[in-house]
Amino acid sequence: MVITSTRARELAEAVPDPELPILGIGELGIVRDVEADDDRVTVVITPTYTGCPAMETIEHDITVALHNGGATHVRIQRRLSPPWSTDWITADAREKLRRFGIAPPSPTPPGPVLISLADLSMSLHSSGPECPHCGSSRTEQVSAFGSTACKEHWRCQACREPFDAIKPLPAGRPAGVAGCR
Amino acid sequence: MIAPLVNQYGGTAAPGQQALPALAQYLLRLGDDALILGQRLSEWYALAPRLEDDIALLNIALDYVGHARVLLTLAGESEGAGRDEDDLAFLRVQEEFVNSQLAELPNGDFGQTIARLALVSVWHVALYDACQESADPDLAAFAAKAAVECRFHVEYAFSWLERLAHGTEESAQHVQAGIDVVWPFAGELFVPDALVDGLRDSGHAPDPRALEQRWRSVLEPRLALLGLTAPHTWMRTTPGRDGLHLEPFTPMLAEMQHLHRAYPGASW
C-alpha cells in the first residue's frame, strides 16, 4: 500500500511519548524528517536525554504506527546534530504539561552556551519553574534528579505540594568546523 | 593478526588497539570511561544515604551508560569492523578495555564516591565542552549534549563536597580521605600521549594540557575554599589506557559481562 510523506509524518508525530503520553513526539521536537517512497518510509529522529531508555520504545511505536498506516518497510535513523534542546518543545506542549501537573522546562539562556564551571551559582535555570498546581513562583528545587532522566524534583513553598519539572537542556553551540581548542 | 606491542611494564598493550584508527581508539577511551563509571556508580543502587541521593546517583549512572552507548557505537562505526555497542561492552576481555584507572576505582564510602565524582565531572564538562568543536561532527554533536548533562553532575558533586567538608569533623575526615585516594589517579586523564596529540593536531580532540589547566583552575580553588587538600602524588603514565587494570576491575567486569556472555545472541 502506498503512503504519502505527509501522512507518514502525521502518524510519526502523533506517536505518544511513553513517559508523558499526553504529548506526541512531534510536539517534543523529536521527529526531524519523514520521507515516504511508495511503501517504504524513513524517519529521522533526534534522541533527547542521552540516558533516556524511552527512545527504544519510541522507535518501536513509530514502526508500528507506520505499519498500521500502510508502510511495508520502515527505517528509523538517529541524527545527533544539531542536538535536541528543551527549547524545541512547543508552546502547546508546555501548556499540556502544566495541566498534567508537570512544570514545563525553564527557558534556557539565549545564544551559545559556554559551560561555566567557575561560577556554579550561574544555574542552568534562568528562572525557577512556577508551581503547576497553584501558579506561585516561590518554588525550590529538591533535587536536579527525579523519577526519569528528563525530570527534576521541586516543591512549592506557597501551596507546599511537590512537583516534577522537565529538566532544561539548552541548545548548545553549533557543531564546529574550526577544530578543538 | 597483528602482534601486540610490549609496553614499558613488560606486558602487552591492549591487543589489537594499534589496528584501530586513531579516532576509534579515542572514542573507545571516552566510551570505556563512561561505561565503567556507570557500572561503578550503579553499585550504589538501594544503598545511598537518602532516597534523593539514591535517585541522583543512579540517574548520573544512567547518564554515563547513555554516553557510553553513543560513544561505543561511534567507536564501532569508526573502526568499521562491524562491532556494535554490545559487542564492545560485553565481548572484549579485560586487557582490551582502555578506561582510565580513575574510572574503575571502587566507590569506597560516600565521601570517596563524591570525591571521585567531583574530579570526573569537572573533567567531563571541560572535555565535552571542548569536543563541541571537534572536526568529527558526530563527536561534536554528542559532546554538545553531554557537556550540559555533566554540568548537572558537577552541581551535585560540589554541593555534597561542601556539605561533607563543612559538616562535622567526621564527615570532613571521610571526604578528605576520599580525595587522598582518588586525586593522584586524575593524572592519567591529562597525559599527552601520541594518540591524543595526533588528534589534537587534526582538530578532532582537545589538547589535554589545556584541559588540565581548566580542570585545576576549577578544583584547586574549590578545595582550598572548603579546607580540603590535594595530595602531591600525580600519575604521569597511562596504565588504564594501555589495558592494565587494578585488581578489583576483574570481578566488576565479570559481573557486568557474564549475563550477556551466558546467553549469546539472546534478545528481549
Chain A residue with Cα closest to B152: A144
Chain A residue with Cα closest to B131: A180
Beta-bridge partner residues of A165: A103, A152
pLDDT (tens digit per residue) in B71-98: 999 999 999 999 999 999 999 999 999 9
Instruction: Give the C-alpha distances (Å, rounded to integers) separating B171 from B154, B222, B229.
Output: 20, 17, 15
What residues of B are in contact with residue A117 (Cβ under 8 Å)?
Answer: 122, 125-126, 151, 154, 214, 218
pLDDT (0 to 100) of residue B266: 85
Measured between CB atoms, which of B64, B147, B156 is closest to A115? B147
* CA–CA min distance B127, chain A (Å): 10
CB contact under 8 A, A117 and B158: no
CB contact under 8 A, B137 and A178: no
pLDDT (0 to 100) of residue B236: 96
Single pTM value for the model: 0.90
What residues of B are in contact with residue A176 (Cβ under 8 Å)?
Answer: 132-134, 140
Contact B22, B195 (CB under 8 A): yes
Chain A residue with Cα closest to B146: A50
Average pLDDT of chain B?
92
Report CA torsion sign: A105, A111, A115, A116. Answer: negative
Measured between CB atoms, which of A52, A169, A176 is closest to B148? A169
pLDDT (0 to 100) of residue B5: 42
pLDDT (tens digit per residue) in A39-90: 899 999 999 988 888 999 999 999 999 999 999 999 999 988 888 889 999 9
Share of chain B above pLDDT 90, in %: 89
pLDDT (0 to 100) of residue A116: 58
Chain B residue with Cα closest to A123: B155
User: pLDDT category, A98, cuts 50, 70, 90?
Assistant: very high
Measured between CB atoms, which of A115, A149, A177 is closest to B59? A149
* CA–CA min distance A48, chain B (Å): 9
pLDDT over 70 at B7, yes or no: no
CB contact under 8 A, A80 and B202: no
* Beta strands A73-78 and A40-45, pairing class: parallel
User: pLDDT category, A110, cuts 50, 70, 90?
Assistant: low
* Beta strands A139-143 and A102-103, pairing class: unpaired
If contacts are CB pairs under 8 Å, which of residues 12-41 in chain B contact chain A? none
To 5 degrees, how large is the angle CA B186–CA B226–CA B178?
Answer: 40
Give me B210's grid cell: 589545556
pLDDT (0 to 100) of residue A117: 60
* CA–CA min distance A17, chain B (Å): 19
pLDDT (tens digit per residue) in B149-205: 999 999 999 999 999 999 999 999 999 999 999 999 999 999 999 999 999 999 999
Among B15, B35, B74, B106, which Cα is nearest to B256's? B35
> CA B173, CA B176: separation in Å to the nearest integer?
5
pLDDT (tens digit per residue) in A19-35: 889 999 999 999 999 99
To 5 degrees, how large is the angle CA B44–CA A125–CA A96?
Answer: 90
Give the H or E element holding residue A165. strand A162-166
pLDDT (tens digit per residue) in B191-226: 999 999 999 999 999 999 999 999 999 999 999 999
If contacts are CB pairs under 8 Å, which of residues 131-170 in chain A contact chain B? 142-147, 149, 153, 167, 169-170
* CA–CA min distance B8, chain A (Å): 30
Give the H or E element holding residue A158. none
What residues of A are in contact with residue B122 (Cβ under 8 Å)?
Answer: 117
